[in-house]
Structure 1
Amino acid sequence: MRASKSSLALVAAAFLALPAAANAGLVLRSAGPSAKAYPPGKSVADSASIQLQPGDIVTVLVSNATRVLRGPGAFKLGAATKVAAAFNARGRFGAMRAGEIPSSPSLWHVDVSQSGTVCVSPDVGVKLWRPEKDGAVTLAIATPAGTTEKVEWADGKDELAWPAAVPLADGEYRLSWTGNDDPTKVKFARLSAVPDDPAGLASALIEKGCQSQLDLFIDNAPTEAP
């Protein structure tokens, strides 16, 4: 899932509130020959040497920003760097610039074009989101229990509240709509609480397998300035 790099809406101090004693980085994404050595969720001490080979790309959450490491080379996370503005996990992301690909407006919107596991916040109502808002469609939600609920999605609307008649349960939901022949398959993973710190939130998304939300988290997190 790709997201805008524009200013974040409702910016708060979620990243900046991390304690100074948090002397470890968290691997968020890795690709290349060394990917198995640095899987998402791995904790890396500031003093540890990260050994990367040619073709390696590792994204690490370090204190209050993300850092992208590109091999070959040996890297340590302890070096002080400048960071961008704070990130608010509960807020909405900034407006899309012209020419950019639309992306979900927040971590907690369910992108109906993306199959996979979706983490659900206990204090945020589930909302559906579609990249293309032109045209009215009928959305059919097939539940794990075998029932199907149909709701109307109005023209010009990209958001739709999850219907109250469809309880969230374990198992796979199939979402299909007018003109879509390949249903989106979604499973929900409930979070007991939304962690206040970015590392805790990222760890929860990784643990639950909520990949689309983790990608959105990475794309909208502050990045280190040169």
Structure 2
Amino acid sequence: MFLVDGKPLRAFLASVSAIAGLAVSGQAMAQSVVVRSTGPSAQAYPQGRKLPAGASVTLKAGDHVTVLDKAGTRVLNGPGTFALNGQVNRDAAGGTQLATMMARSGASRTRTGAVRGAAGGPAMVAPTGPENIWYIDVSKGGTYCVADPATVVLWRPEKTEEGTGKLLSQDGSTADVTWRAGSALKVWPAASVPLVDGQTYTFSNAVGMPVKIRTVLLAQVPSDELEVAGMIAEKGCTAQLDMLANLAQSSSVGG
């Protein structure tokens, strides 16, 4: 029997493999994802770029780079150099908001229509964008990663009155989409317009210009928020990266 450091060779190799696996996993968990970037350094830090653990971001005056890492979602304002070491803790409210936005609640939330405030309390302020990254904003369109084709939801910004629109696929399939008054959510009409990986759809209504919606179906979705962001960045789902970037606007750091 071959021995290495007093251990059988098979056991030694298994230990090395486990340690290597933990190291790779740790690096993946510690990496950062750029979810929005504007200014002179936007080309160096484009939306969707992954940055390794412990990376430093050097920005010029006028740069605004939003990153998602284990510390949360935050805005880095240039000039300056910022270490992405995960030591900046986000507040509990911000963490809860991010977890809620990335939860795969899907079509279940459409059953009761609009989301309401607590009984007897003031009405909730209408959101300026989807409160969940798995919702598709029909007012903007874009490329969206789909976690579960059976629970995709179409979101509209104006929910006071009844709303209607039409969804058209590349193969000619169409479906009328109708929101009830007071509801911002509508389940994708998959029976009439099936969701297909890489397909581009057109949504149109009488209120605004038609928008293009491209869908990317995911075979599996990680449980970790940062890994989800990294996956949608790799797939080019920029509409969802924009949603994540919007979370950070109230808590910018830097000059």
The residue that corresponds to 2:204 in the other structure is 176
Distance 1:123 1:194, change over 3 A: farther
Give the unaligned 5+ runs of structure 1: 1-18
Match of 1:103, as an amino acid? G
Looking at structure 2, the residues matched to 128 and 102 of structure 1 have their Cα atoms a distance apart, in angstroms, of 15
Looking at structure 2, the residues matched to 222 and 136 of structure 1 have their Cα atoms a distance apart, in angstroms, of 31
8 Å contact from structure 2 (residues 64, 76) kept in 1: yes
What does residue range 5-44 of structure 1 map to in structure 2 within 5 Å?
Answer: 22-39=29-46, 40-44=48-52
8 Å contact from structure 2 (residues 72, 90) kept in 1: yes
1:214 and 2:241 correspond: yes
What does residue range 71-86 of structure 1 map to in structure 2 within 5 Å?
Answer: 71-78=78-85, 80-85=87-92, 86=95
The residue that corresponds to 2:182 in the other structure is 156
What does residue range 187-198 of structure 1 map to in structure 2 within 5 Å?
Answer: 187-198=214-225
The residue that corresponds to 1:90 in the other structure is 103
1:45 and 2:53 correspond: yes
Return the structure number with greater relative CO, CA threshold 8 A, min gap 6.
1
Aligned pairs, how many? 206
The residue that corresponds to 1:9 in the other structure is none
Give the unaligned 5+ runs of structure 2: 1-24, 106-114, 118-122
Distance 1:52 1:183, change over 3 A: same
The residue that corresponds to 1:69 in the other structure is 76
8 Å contact from structure 2 (residues 202, 213) kept in 1: yes
Larger radius of gyration: 2
RMSD (CA atoms): 3.2
The residue that corresponds to 1:5 in the other structure is none
Which of 129, 135, 142 is matched with 1:116 structurally? Answer: 142
8 Å contact from structure 1 (residues 82, 224) kept in 2: no
1:134 and 2:160 correspond: yes
Give the CA deviation at 1:132.
0.7
Provide TM-score, normalisation by structure 2. Answer: 0.68
8 Å contact from structure 1 (residues 82, 225) kept in 2: no
Provide TM-score, normalisation by structure 1. Answer: 0.76
Looking at structure 2, the residues matched to 95 and 155 of structure 1 have their Cα atoms a distance apart, in angstroms, of 13
Give the CA deviation at 1:65.
0.9
Give the CA deviation at 1:69.
1.8
The residue that corresponds to 2:62 in the other structure is 55
Match of 2:33, as an amino acid? L
Distance 1:69 1:222, change over 3 A: closer
Distance 1:138 1:28, change over 3 A: closer
Which of 187, 192, 202 is matched with 1:165 structurally? Answer: 192
Looking at structure 1, the residues matched to 71 and 250 of structure 2 have their Cα atoms a distance apart, in angstroms, of 9
Give the CA deviation at 1:61.
2.1
8 Å contact from structure 2 (residues 178, 186) kept in 1: no
Distance 1:157 1:116, change over 3 A: same
Residue-by-residue CA offset, 1:61-83 (whole Å, 9 max, x unaligned): 23141232221122222372232
